Amino acid sequence: MRNRKALFLTLILPLVLSVAVDVYAAPANKAVTLWFHGGTAEETAAMKSQIERFNASQKNFKVEMTEIPGGAVAGSGYNDSVNAAAVAGKLPDILDLDGPNLYNYAWAGFLRDLTNLAGADLKADLLPSLIAQGTYKGKLYAIGQYDSGLSLAGRRSMLKKAGVRIPKGVKDAWTMAEFKDALSKLKASGQTEYVIDLKMNYGAGEWLTYAFSPILWGFGGDLIDRKTWKTADGVLNGPEAVAAMKFFQGLFAQKLANLTPADDNDFVNGKTALGFCGHWMTTPYYKAFGDDFTLIPMPNWGKKAVTGMGSWAWAISTQSKNPDGAWAFFKFMLQPDEILAITNINGAVPGRISALNKTDLYKAGGRLAVFSDQLKTGVAVPRPATPAYPAVTSAFYTAADSIAKGADVKTELDTAVDKIDKDIKNNNGYPEK
């Protein structure tokens, strides 16, 4: 009997005490709510430990993370949640937004202007591409810890066997003719079932815009007229854009690319010798092949070499009741070491020059140098900075999905143009308040 009581006390007492401590501690820690899109398991774990370090580092604020899935792949789940919360006035203090979606939220007045909070020192140290991506109408609304890298992945041994030149860097990237030649040589060499992995397993979503609208620009087309921002007519369905998307369609028609990969692993499983490679795939690819895996800069598509950029970036909502706490967390997570804690896991390009210089991966000759070179030399181009972006991207990825599956290119692009123009018209041309 006595033993039982002792057992009871040893079990219950700590519980009671911990609750009491929590209650006692609560007023000092002002809660800062944070929404995070569902990244990979490793990214989420790194994010969690970052938040724990912040909470332990000071006593004034306590960041509480909610993970909302559906952001990364073909995702609308995360955006649906953010939209709904914005309408209901339930936005968290801090949220992360995928690249170009932030223009719509900034235009609608849901994001706090960070221009003055971020001092000159920080701005000078941030990657110019990050500032470009986070800025709408001259004001800075979001800051990412990293920018994305997108280039081609290749297997040195296979390229060598097929007699294909491996570019040393961004400066000697393949020309369009060389790229086509590489594709047919690799096909003829018969080493793999397909030649290039285009990650079509991501489905009809942002991936298609992020990865393949750069081909449009490289051919001389675009998603929207970036002079007036009022129409996509003649740009997205002009002869250059049609040629670009016919090339894209041809990759599937000629069985160079797999329209229906079962998962992320076609390149790892040896089904292709090349692949479109976002930074998040570099770690698994390196694990699988070591130094046989190499990044190859995006080719010159005709007019110019272009690739996608922009990634998830952090913003503070105007509905936030604790912007000081939010900004304190921004300062914490933008420290070079905290940035590296994330990028060492997901392979993205660190967002500050000082962080970039702390790692050898992105220096000349480094394994991921292609990513940082593409960002520094203007090969990576941001997606259009317009509040119409949600309409633009959904029109484009729907068209690109049908085009990949064999639909008539001109008809699909015309349809996309009509959808975009209708949206702009319905919003009175997205006037500024």
Q: Are 149 and 274 in contact (CB under 8 A)?
A: no
To other proteins, the closest distance from the beta carbon of 413 in angstroms equals 11
Supply φ then ψ for residue 420, to 5 degrees. -65, -45
113 binds other proteins (CB under 8 A): no
401 binds other proteins (CB under 8 A): yes
292 binds other proteins (CB under 8 A): no
To other proteins, the closest distance from the beta carbon of 348 in angstroms equals 26
To other proteins, the closest distance from the beta carbon of 84 in angstroms equals 8
Q: Considering only residues 93, 222, 373, 412, which one is a binding residue for other proteins as defined by CB under 8 A?
A: 412
Q: Are 231 and 225 in contact (CB under 8 A)?
A: yes
Question: What is the spatial distance between Cα 149 and Cα 163, in angstroms, rounded to a whole number?
Answer: 27
The contact pattern for other proteins, residues 230-259, with x = CB under 8 A and - = no contact, is: ----------------------------xx
Q: Considering only residues 103, 110, 371, 396, which one is a binding residue for other proteins as defined by CB under 8 A?
A: 110
Q: Are 236 and 417 in contact (CB under 8 A)?
A: yes
Question: What is the spatial distance between Cα 94 and Cα 299, in angstroms, rounded to a whole number?
Answer: 37
83 binds other proteins (CB under 8 A): yes
Q: Considering only residues 71, 92, 275, 390, which one is a binding residue for other proteins as defined by CB under 8 A?
A: 390
Question: What is the spatial distance between Cα 406 and Cα 28, in angstroms, rounded to a whole number?
Answer: 61
Length of the chain in residues, anyone?
433
Q: Are 348 and 148 in contact (CB under 8 A)?
A: yes
Question: What is the spatial distance between Cα 151 and Cα 172, in angstroms, rounded to a whole number?
Answer: 14
Nearest to other proteins of 55, 269 (CB atom):
269
The contact pattern for other proteins, residues 179-218, with x = CB under 8 A and - = no contact, is: ------------------------xxx-------------
Q: Are 305 and 298 in contact (CB under 8 A)?
A: yes
Supply φ then ψ for residue 52, to 5 degrees. -60, -40
Binding site for other proteins (CB under 8 A): 74, 76, 79-80, 83-84, 86-87, 104-105, 107-110, 203-205, 258-260, 262, 390-391, 394, 398, 401-402, 404-407, 412, 414-415, 418, 422-423, 426-428, 431, 433
